[in-house]
Amino acid sequence: MLRNMPTLRDLATTIRSKNAGVDHITFDLIFRERANFERVRDSGVLSRAKVAALYGIPEERVTDFVVFEPANAIKFTIRRARPSGSPGESDVFGAQQYAPLFAIEVP
Amino acid sequence: MADVSILCPTGHLGFTPLEPASFRAGCALKPDFIIADSGSCDIGPYPLGADGQASPVAWQRHDLEIMLLEARRLGVPMIIGSASDTGTDRGVRQFADIIRDIARENRLAPFRMATIFSELTREEVLGRMRAGAPVQGLDGRSDADEATILRTDRIVAVMSAEPIAAALKAGAEVVIAGRSSDCALFAAPLLNAGMSPATAYYAGKLMECASFCCEPFMGKESILGRISEDDIRVTAMHPGQRCTPASLASHAMYERRDPFREYVATGYVDMSAVRYEQWDEKTARATGARFVPSATPMLKLEGAGKVGERRLAIVGIRDPYTIENIDKAMDWARARLAERFGPPEAAGWTVHYHAYGRDGVMGALETHRPVRPHELGIVVETVCADARRAEEICALAARNLFYARLAEVKGTAGAAALMSDEILVGKPGYEWTLNHVLPVADPSELFRTEFTTVDARMKEAA
């Protein structure tokens, strides 16, 4: 299959999600190659609005969106619907929420 | 000022057993302190609320024994924080008992142990609220009112370095602390050595998760920090790991909303101007942290309260027509439950259908639900104050999927596969009720420290 653009999965070394306290899940995308980091950073494929759409939540629930230059990383945080580990919650560590990021294509 | 060296073997003592080889390699370098944290909120609200623990006692003992024997052999202080996962008074006493047992069995020479308690009663918190101290919500939560406190079963305050530093100054050779900021355990001896809060807390922030700040990814391996003012050098002790600027920087953003700030009782560490460099093959160096003091000391409170008894059932579905219409089947099942048990909110029950194979992992955050997954595994989770009623509701919530009435179903003998017609007893459901801060006059005022001499030669007290 011909693919025109690489995806975040191709470009990032680490894509992870994890609890940040009991009320938030934070997402880290870390790039070994500075060029890949800059390409994604400057492409506009990740932003508060894009992340909110990806997870089907209002933009206010994306509480933080940070470009963290020292680690060649982009980091964002979303507020959970309920605190971690409450009845009805499905990911007590918040560790499996990153998968939708993989397929994002980067111009 | 001479370097202070700290050895950290694990980021969560007891959660899985620490690796002894890299720890002993670190001990050969004669660290000044051996430090590990034993707690986390990641384990969910149940252990705090029910005052239980998440780690097996055997693994806690394994880690404490390896650390204590080396600390006493080297004659250096050992500091453990957030005892037994939650840092409740039970956890502190339990770890202190384990320390005494290990000392007795190994005939250790006498040493001074400090235990620092951080649990608060509801009455203490209510008393402070009534005296005008606001219990302020963190992370977008609203401030706590009396109802919030009354539905909380257990509360711990999170200590910063002050009570630990005071215990060390008073001669403690082993410190078992209740709930603590991870970084405070490391900051305490560094502050005592005359370093700034910026260096002390930032060193702790970098070191608290042991080998997680190194690469490649390995847990439970030791790291050694050599610290002097504005000069933090972290070295991997495992032969296959290195500490690098990239590994330190990526750890600095781990598990936190803001990679630039680390809050403690008296202010925050500003990490926005930190610089990382490679020092030697296995060591990276960090400099440039700043500390911004707050006007009033604020202590974080963590609290968990019981929501109800929990029952679980597992149901599988293979019929493609039922799978396509699973939302209708669940709606039908819920409607029948409400008919029998009353509207969920008013009658005090909840049913959650976790549809694995569709959106069981991500729930409402899932935006790519497959229309026709091959099969669905549905975990039925029921919560209700009364255990028998929770069981009954769970049974009907599961069996109603079996009997779901869908217009064109062909499998008229049953619309679901019950893994077994069995209701599983879950741990009671709890929730995090407090993620708040309380203003205080003195950052030590909520904590109680006791000193004892652990003397293996002494007979047990009658």
Residues B161-219: tens digit of each pLDDT: 999 999 999 999 999 999 999 999 999 999 999 999 999 999 999 999 999 999 999 99
Residues B375 and B277 in one domain: no
Single-letter amino acid, residue B324: E
Q: Taking CB atoms and an 8 Å limit, are A72 and B350 in contact across chains?
A: no
Q: Pairing relation of β-strands B429-439 and B136-137?
A: antiparallel
Residues B41 and B14 in one domain: yes
Choose the closest CB to B255 out of A26, A88, A97: A26
Question: Could you give the strand order of the β-sheet that contains B290-293, starting from the edge strand earlier in sequence?
Answer: B261-264, B267-270, B290-293
Candidates A15, A22, A32, A63: best to mutate against B (most CBs of B within 10 A) is A22
Choose the closest CB to B257 out of A26, A96, A99: A26
User: How far apart are the CA of A107 and the nearest CA of chain B, in angstroms?
Assistant: 22
**Residue B122 binned pLDDT confidence (cut-offs 50, 70, 90):** very high
Cβ of B5: how many Cβ atoms within 10 Å?
18
Choose the closest CB to A21 out of B44, B364, B435: B435
Residues B207 and B62 in one domain: yes
Residues B100 and B216 in one domain: yes
Residues B95 and B216 in one domain: yes
**Residue B461 binned pLDDT confidence (cut-offs 50, 70, 90):** very low
Mean per-residue pLDDT of chain B: 95
HEC profile of chain B:
CCCEEEEECCCCCCCCCCCHHHHHHHHCCCCCEEEEEEECCCCCCHHHHHCCCCCCHHHHHHHHHHHHHHHHHHCCCEEEEEEEECCCHHHHHHHHHHHHHHHHHCCCCCEEEEEEECEECHHHHHHHHHCCCCCEECCCCCCCCHHHHHCCCEEEEEECHHHHHHHHHCCCCEEEECCECHHHHHHHHHHHCCCCHHHHHHHHHHHCCHHHHCECCCCCCCEEEEEECCEEEEEECCCCCECCHHHHHHHHCCCCCCCCEEEECCEEEECCCCEEEEEECCEEEEECCEEEECCCCEEEEEEEEEEEEEEEEEEEECCHHHHHCHHHHHHHHHHHHHHHHCCHHHHCEEEEEEEECCCCCCHHHCCCCCCCCCCEEEEEEEEECCHHHHHHHHHHHHHHHHCCCCCCCCCCCCCCEECCCCCEECCCEEEEEEEEEEECCCCCCCCEEEEEEECCCCCCCC
Question: Which position has the token pair 């609005």?
Answer: A49
Residues B280 and B376 in one domain: no
Residues B45 and B162 in one domain: yes
Choose the closest CB to A55 out of B259, B365, B435: B365
Q: Which residue of B has its CA nearest to A103?
A: B368
Residues B300 and B178: beta-carbon distance below 8 Å: no
Chain B residues with CB under 8 Å of A29 CB are none
Q: Taking CB atoms and an 8 Å limit, are A55 and B249 in contact across chains?
A: no
Crossing angle (nearest 10°) for helices B20-27 and B57-74 = 20
Residue B81 placed within a domain: yes
For the record, the structure tokens of B306 come out as 């019981």
Write down the pLDDT at residue B412. 80
Which whole number is the average pLDDT over B16-39? 97
**Residue B442 binned pLDDT confidence (cut-offs 50, 70, 90):** very high
Residue B200 placed within a domain: yes
Residues B347 and B284 in one domain: no
Residue B461 placed within a domain: no
Q: Taking CB atoms and an 8 Å limit, are A23 and B141 in contact across chains?
A: yes
Single-letter amino acid, residue B364: A
Residue B152 placed within a domain: no
% of chain B beyond a pLDDT of 90: 92
Residues B411 and B318 in one domain: yes
Residues B37 and B180: beta-carbon distance below 8 Å: yes
User: How far apart are the CA of A63 and the nearest CA of chain B, in angstroms?
Assistant: 8
**CATH number of the structural domain spanning residue B351:** 3.30.70
Residues B444 and B428 in one domain: no
Chain B residues with CB under 8 Å of A84 CB are 41-42, 44-45, 432
Q: Taking CB atoms and an 8 Å limit, are B255 and A19 in contact across chains?
A: yes
Write down the pLDDT at residue B462. 34
Asked whether the predicted pLDDT for residue A25 surpasses 50, the reply is: yes
- What is the C-alpha separation between B10 and B64, in angstroms, rounded? 11
Residues B412 and B450 in one domain: no
Q: Taking CB atoms and an 8 Å limit, are A54 and B252 in contact across chains?
A: no
Residue B334 placed within a domain: yes
Question: Which position has the token pair 């935006």?
Answer: B367
Helices (H), chain A: 8-11, 34-43, 48-55
Range of B164's domain? Answer: 4-118+158-297+440-454
Q: Pairing relation of β-strands B417-418 and B283-287?
A: unpaired
Computed over its alpha carbons, how large is the radius of gyration of chain B?
A: 26
Beta-carbon contacts of A14 under 8 Å, excluding residues fewer than 6 positions away, are A28, A29, A30, B250
Compute CA distances B146 → B8, B123, B200, whole Å.
40, 10, 37
Residues B249 and B323 in one domain: no
Q: Which residue of A has its CA nearest to B311?
A: A87
Q: Give the count of domains, chain B.
A: 2
Candidates A63, A69, A86: best to mutate against B (most CBs of B within 10 A) is A86
Which whole number is the average pLDDT over B227-242? 98
DSSP state of A12: -
Residues A61 and A79: beta-carbon distance below 8 Å: yes
User: How far apart are the CA of B358 and the nearest CA of chain A, in angstroms?
Assistant: 13
User: How far apart are the CA of B29 and the nearest CA of chain A, in angstroms?
Assistant: 30
Q: Taking CB atoms and an 8 Å limit, are B432 and A85 in contact across chains?
A: yes
Write down the pLDDT at residue A2. 56
User: How far apart are the CA of A3 and the nearest CA of chain B, in angstroms?
Assistant: 21
Size of interface A-B (CB pairs under 8 A): 136
Q: Taking CB atoms and an 8 Å limit, are A85 and B430 in contact across chains?
A: yes
DSSP state of A72: T
Residue B238 placed within a domain: yes
Chain A residues with CB under 8 Å of B307 CB are 86-87
ipTM of this complex: 0.94
